[in-house]
Amino acid sequence: MFPCGSAVPTASNLNFVAGQTVPNAVIAKLGTNGKVCLYTSAVTHLIVDVNGVFPT
């Protein structure tokens, strides 16, 4: 998860092995359009829950 409009980061937020269900929490900066983007290196099923936004 990373700010939309920026380059895909070189560090991961979550690592997994095929067949695992892995929960995690991430704090991500919003892009200039107010969105975050997701990138996976493999076919993945994702569920994203937004818990809040920190005002600037």
Q: What is the pLDDT of residue 55?
A: 78
Q: What is the pLDDT of residue 38?
A: 94
Across the chain, which has 56 residues, the per-10-residue mean pLDDT values are: 94 87 90 91 89 82
Q: What is the pLDDT of residue 41?
A: 87
Q: What is the pLDDT of residue 7?
A: 95
Concatenating the DSSP letter of every residue in 1-55 gives -EETTSPPPSS-S----TT------------TTS-EE---SS-------------
Q: What is the pLDDT of residue 4?
A: 95
